[in-house]
Amino acid sequence: MKIVALGAGRMGRGIAHVFAYAGYRVDVLDFKPRPAGDGARLRAAALGEVAANLELLRELGILTGEEKDAIIARVRIVLLEDAPEALAAAAFVFEGVTETLEAKRDALARACRHVRDDAIIASTTSSMLADTLAGLVVRPQRFLNAHFLNPAYLIPLVEVSPAKVTADETFDATKALL
C-alpha cells in the first residue's frame, strides 16, 4: 500500500517517517513549483531530516543501522511534476500543507484531480473542522481529519475526526492503518 504525505514540510516529513518505520512506502509530495536546483535541495533536506531522526533512534538503541537504512529507503521525495503519478498510486493521502483555508482548498482540489476513487484523503489540520474541509474534496465520504502531533515519529497519538459525511469504512480503514 502506498501512502502520500502531501506537503514536504515538517509534518509531511514526520508522517513519512512514521509510515516508513511501520513498513510502508511513502511519497512526500511537494506541491510547490520549484526550479530544478531547489527541488534537489528540498529532496536532500527532507531525506536528511528523516535520516537524522532515525539516527537519533539508532543511537538510543531503538533500531539498528540496517533498520535505519531500510526505513529511509521507503521514503521518496516527489516534486510537482511527478505529483499525478504519486497521487494515482496512493491508497491514503495525508494532507499537511499550511494551516490556511486557501492553501488547503488549493492542495485538496489539485490532489482530487489525480487520486483514485478508493483513496482516502485525511487532513492533518488541528484548526479546521472536518465538515468544512470535506466540502473541498470530490468524494467527501472518503475524507476525514487525522491530526498527528509533532514530532509525529515520537508521539504515538493521532486525533481522528470524521466529517458528518465520512463513510464508516473510511473511518475504520484509517483507524486500522493508524
**Residues tagged active-site:** 147
Q: Could you write out the DSSP letters of every residue in 89-131?
A: HEEEEEE---SSHHHHHHHHHHHHTTS-TT-EEEE--SSS-HH
**68 CB-near residues (< 8 Å, 6+ apart):** 51, 54, 55, 57, 58
Rounded to a whole number of angstroms, the CA Rg of the chain reads 15
Is the Cβ–Cβ distance between 115 and 90 less than 8 Å? Answer: yes
